[in-house]
Amino acid sequence: MPSNEAGAGHPASAGESHTEGEEHEPRVPQENGTGAPDLARSALVRPPASAPAPAPVTLRSDLRASAFDGSAALAVTAVVFAVLYARIEAKTSSTVTVMPFMADTGAFWMYFLSQAFGWSALLWAWGTVVLGLLLSGPRPARLPLSGPRLERLHRTTSLNTIALIFAHALLFAAELIHHSKDSWLGALGTTFVEVFVPGGYDSGTGRIAIPVGQAALYLALPLGLLFYVRHRIGPRTWRAMHRFVLVVYVLSVWHTLLYGTNVWYDGWFRTTVWLLQLPIAALFLMRLLRPARRSQRLRGLGEHPGSPAGWSLRLVGRVAAVGIMVVLLAVIITGRDGGRVEPPPDTTSTHNHD
């Protein structure tokens, strides 16, 4: 491991990742349950001194490695698209309840494909956050993936999440251009502003929901990709910034619950989206309570190495994480999850997307 990179992180956690095939070096020797460091495990994970230096991790090498889970993401998108399409045809989709003109599948297939990419983006974001929290918090002993594999999967799923969000936004843009009455060039300009410029979309809930989605996308780019230049910006800076990737995830979920027409109304599907946030909240809490880096553990105020302000911040973080879990549980149990009430089926709906 190049010593000048010691302490560099990886796309969504505080772990170190520098060279391909290198074991995720324990930030501290792992404990074995007795409170003593598990030196046997630490020794096992170190490559022998004579082992050839593994290839460095670069954006290019990770892009190549992303092909497999990228294909899986495309397969999932295709399945979701088929389901959404079939629901529109069967007139059971709430997208059509919200926007009756969308019943024409032939005319609006790009919109449904954009929705499908939105779901795979959210699913991949979920997965990569879970992997990141497993890397930076306690990891189940029986996990079938080794540290380096977990890290690599975390990096490739992060890259694929960014690509899926782009596909989601681009297909939405393609749909707007397709139905625009403007000239091709005029439509391109207007659509670019509506889809990619915060504040450019000025109708209904989209006035808030679109900038929330854009914020997720624009934050995901630096917070994920700066990993590949971490030796230039400094591993500490990288790690400090990368922590905020959780904000990207929260914005993505907020955007979905606010704007997704398939989760527009109260019901099991919307509640399931909330339910999926429970494991993330639990892992986040565990990560705060038992961080992989010993320096991040919360000790008594007197024993804490940092300032009292840092200690208070860590304590507030833990209390907030418990609060999030309580709120999630309340939402899931009561089913009061912020969805709109579905209009009766015989309504001649005049709803639009606001």
> Which residues sit at the interface with ligand HEM, rule CB under 6 A?
95, 115, 118-119, 121-122, 125, 165, 168-169, 172, 195, 210, 213-214, 216-217, 252, 255-256, 259-263
The residues, ordered by sequence, that sit 6+ positions from 239 with a Cβ below 8 Å of its Cβ are 7, 8, 9, 14
User: Both tokens of residue 265?
Assistant: 């109304």
Nearer to ligand HEM, 32 or 92 (CB): 92
Nearer to ligand HEM by C-beta: 256 or 277? 256
Helix ranges, the chain (H): 39-45, 59-65, 67-89, 94-98, 105-136, 147-178, 184-196, 206-225, 230-233, 235-242, 245-259, 268-275, 277-289, 308-334
For residue 33 the two structure tokens come to 């349950």
CB of residue 217 to ligand HEM, shortest distance in Å: 5
d(C-alpha 147, C-alpha 133), whole Å: 13
| DSSP code at position 305 | S
By C-beta, is 12 or 216 nearer to ligand HEM?
216
Cα–Cα distance between 320 and 316 in angstroms, integer? Answer: 6
Alpha-carbon distances, residue 93 vs 5, 173, 302 (angstroms): 51, 22, 58
CB of 200 to ligand HEM, least distance (A): 10
Decide whether 1 or 174 has the Cβ nearer to ligand HEM: 174
Beta bridge pairs of residue 56: 19
Could you tell me the smallest distance in angstroms from the CB atom of residue 282 to ligand HEM?
21
Query: Are the CB atoms for 105 and 89 separated by under 8 Å?
Result: yes
Structure tokens at 11: 């796309």
Cα–Cα distance measured from residue 307 to residue 214, given in angstroms and rounded to the nearest whole number? 36
Shortest spacing between CB 293 and ligand HEM, in angstroms? 28
Least distance to ligand HEM from the beta carbon of 99, Å? 7
CB of 215 to ligand HEM, least distance (A): 8
**Minimum CB distance to ligand HEM smaller for 85 or for 172:** 172
CA distance 108 to 91: 14
- The CA-atom distances, in angstroms, between 2 and each of 7, 10, 20, 29, 45 are 11, 15, 12, 20, 17
Report the SS3 class of residue 344.
coil
- Which residue number, 112 or 311, has a Cβ lying nearer to ligand HEM? 112
Q: Minimum distance between the CB of residue 226 and ligand HEM, rounded to whole angstroms?
A: 18
- Smallest gap from Cβ 261 to ligand HEM, in A, equals 4
Nearer to ligand HEM, 136 or 262 (CB): 262
Smallest distance from ligand HEM to CB 277, Å: 13
* CB-nearer residue toward ligand HEM: 172 or 284: 172
**Shorter beta-carbon distance to ligand HEM: residue 81 or 227:** 81
Cα distance between residue 152 and residue 148, in whole Å? 6
